[in-house]
Structure 1
Amino acid sequence: MSLAPRAVLVHRTTEYEELVARHGTHGQAAFFLSSRGRDIEEVAERHRATRHALARVTAAIPLTWRQSRVERRDLDRFLFAPEDVVVVVGQDGLVANVAKYLAGQPVVGIDTDPGRNPGVLVRHRPADAEELLAAGTGEVEELTMVEAVADDTQRLVALNEIYLGAAGHQTARYRLGLDGDGGVAEAQASSGVLVGTGTGATGWIGSVRQERGGDGPRPPGPSERRLLWFVREAWPSPATGTSLVAGELTADSRLTLTVESERLVAFGDGVESDAVELTWGQRVTVGVCGERLRLVR
């Protein structure tokens, strides 16, 4: 007999909760913010909206379903099951945070602060949860993700983009090559390499592309199996070049980076605390990920 679905509510600690935890009481937190020209009521109101959204979504879970709840900082220790329906209650970035831990489970994004969040990934309101879950989550859009695989089998997956470079964003030294270039690789010194998806094209990748006047390949759509890559601030010298600084990757192509520094890192979606560490001589390949995020429309 198959198990009933399990609704997994993913959320994060609110700014208000973090302030009270740090300062001990509401009054102390209010004093701290007022000394910096801010009103705690603004923060408290967002906290109340988030708690209300969580309560409403919880109440919308069908009675025959199992349910669980996980905070963002515990995602790397939570075991998702194949029959799970993941309900992200919060901001767009929270969907990106959970994406790399999934294996095809549908994701429902619930926006707790419409108008403040872009709503690219959290597309629904708390009031929509009952209808969405009763319908078995409905249609899904499969979003492309990016992966980096090191020669020691370390693997990193991200929904928006992967950064490869020095941990502190200082100068990184490496060799960069592309499949199909006859094995030719260019020695470079830069502040890192970004490889991003269509979902990430409105974020960090989009910012870099805008700084360069929007030249180069058009941004992919979120479901398109194509990536954009950029080298940040490549430095020309007698030993390093700048001929490979931007491009695109199709589903069958890969970008290869060989480390020529004591320590480089690769991290996804801005989460530097969950980085893959790379050392001198290691090789990492980056390309379209085989898994995709199944986001409920």
Structure 2
Amino acid sequence: MSLAPRAVLVHRRTELTELLARHGTLGQAEFFLATRGRSLDDVVEQDAAVRRALAEVSAAVPWDWRRGSVERADLARFLFTPEDVVLVVGQDGLVANVAKYLTGQPVVGITPGSPGVLVRHPASATPDLVRSLDSVERRTMVRLSADDGQTLLALNEIYLGHPGHQTARYRLGPERQASSGILVGTGTGATGWCRSVWQERHSALRLPAAGERRLVWFVREAWPSPDTGTSLTEGELTTAPLTVTVESDHLTAFGDGLESDAVTLTRGQSVTFRPAERAFHLVR
């Protein structure tokens, strides 16, 4: 007998919850916000909108499904199973945060406010969405593999650079470089950080589509010196990987902005970037 699906509700603490944890009372939170020209009413309304969306999504889960819930801070300790249907209530970044922990489970993006790229649907659409789980977008992810077995997956992009945002030194193919780091992104990431770099430098590269099995990479602020070059600053990845050899004492790599979940690399180590075999499944 197969197990019933499990609806896993993914959310993060609201700003109001974090303010109360830090300041203790609504009055102190209100005073803190006022010193920054902000109103407590706006924060309370945002909190109420999230709570309404969470309640509506939870009520829409079929009665015979199993249920689970996890906050963003606990994602690394949560055990997802093959039968899970992941219901993300929040902003686009929360969808990216959960992507690396999944192995093909369908993900429904629900917004408590304005729609985004990944959280397109209002909570009221949940009943229809959980009945159309076969209608998914397969989105390409990026994978970093280090020569010591460490790996990293990301839905938007992986950044490799110095942990203190100082000069990163490495060998990129045949060229030694000194720069602010390397950014390797997907079609999903092409709407964010990668697009910012691409646009600023007026790059002629074609950014990938979300489902396209192609990545783009950019070297950030490379500069020349007697022993470092700048001839390799952007490109694309399809089948052949991008290989980087560390020449700083320490470099770090993290995905989708999560610096707390990073891979640490030391001098002489090599890493490769390539499109991940695992795809992210976003319910339409």
TM range (shorter): over 0.9
TM-score by length of 1: 0.94
SS in structure 2 of the partner of residue 13 of structure 1 = coil
> Is 1:123–2:120 an aligned residue pair?
yes
SS in structure 1 of the partner of residue 3 of structure 2 = coil
What is the deviation of 1:150? 0.1
RMSD: 0.8
CA distance in 1, matches of 2:208, 2:71: 31
**1:163 maps to which residue?**
159
User: Given that residues 132 and 283 in structure 2 are in contact (C-alpha distance below 8 angstroms), is that contact kept between their aligned partners in structure 1?
Assistant: no
CA distance in 2, matches of 1:36, 1:237: 44
Q: Select 2:245's aligned residue among 245, 258, 273.
A: 258
Structure 1 unaligned blocks of 5 or more: 178-184
**2:268 maps to which residue?**
281
- In the alignment, residue 193 of structure 2 is paired with which amino acid? W
**What aligned pairs does 1:204-283 form with structure 2 within 5 A after superposition?**
204-213=193-202, 215-250=203-238, 252-283=239-270
**1:38 maps to which residue?**
38
> Is 1:89–2:100 an aligned residue pair?
no
CA distance in 2, matches of 1:35, 1:47: 20
User: Given that residues 216 and 246 in structure 1 are in contact (C-alpha distance below 8 angstroms), is that contact kept between their aligned partners in structure 2?
Assistant: no
**What aligned pairs does 1:179-218 form with structure 2 within 5 A after superposition?**
185-213=174-202, 215-218=203-206
**1:291 maps to which residue?**
278
- In the alignment, residue 128 of structure 1 is paired with which amino acid? A
**2:129 maps to which residue?**
132
Write out per-residue CA displacement over residues 94-149 of structure 1, whole angstroms, 9 at most, x where no aligned residue.
000000000000000001111xx5x100111100011222x152400000000000
CA distance in 2, matches of 1:207, 1:136: 34
CA distance in 1, matches of 2:110, 2:10: 10
Write out per-residue CA displacement over residues 5-62 of structure 1, whole angstroms, 9 at most, x where no aligned residue.
0000000000011001110011110111112211011011010000000000000000
Write out per-residue CA displacement over residues 81-102 of structure 1, whole angstroms, 9 at most, x where no aligned residue.
0000000000000000000000
SS in structure 1 of the partner of residue 164 of structure 2 = coil
User: Given that residues 216 and 247 in structure 1 are in contact (C-alpha distance below 8 angstroms), is that contact kept between their aligned partners in structure 2?
Assistant: no
Range moving further from structure 2, 6-15 or 163-172: 163-172
Structure 1 stretches (4+) deviating beyond 3 angstroms? none
CA distance in 2, matches of 1:189, 1:85: 44
Structure 2 unaligned blocks of 5 or more: none
What is the deviation of 1:168? 2.0
- In the alignment, residue 210 of structure 2 is paired with which amino acid? P
- In the alignment, residue 208 of structure 1 is paired with which amino acid? V
SS in structure 1 of the partner of residue 53 of structure 2 = helix
User: Given that residues 132 and 138 in structure 1 are in contact (C-alpha distance below 8 angstroms), is that contact kept between their aligned partners in structure 2?
Assistant: no
- In the alignment, residue 269 of structure 2 is paired with which amino acid? Q
What is the deviation of 1:253? 1.5
TM-score by length of 2: 0.99
- In the alignment, residue 282 of structure 2 is paired with which amino acid? L
**2:100 maps to which residue?**
100
CA distance in 2, matches of 1:168, 1:160: 22
Write out per-residue CA displacement over residues 142-181 of structure 1, whole angstroms, 9 at most, x where no aligned residue.
000000000001000000000011012210000002xxxx
- In the alignment, residue 175 of structure 1 is paired with which amino acid? R
| Number of corresponding residues | 284
- Quote the sequence identity (%): 66
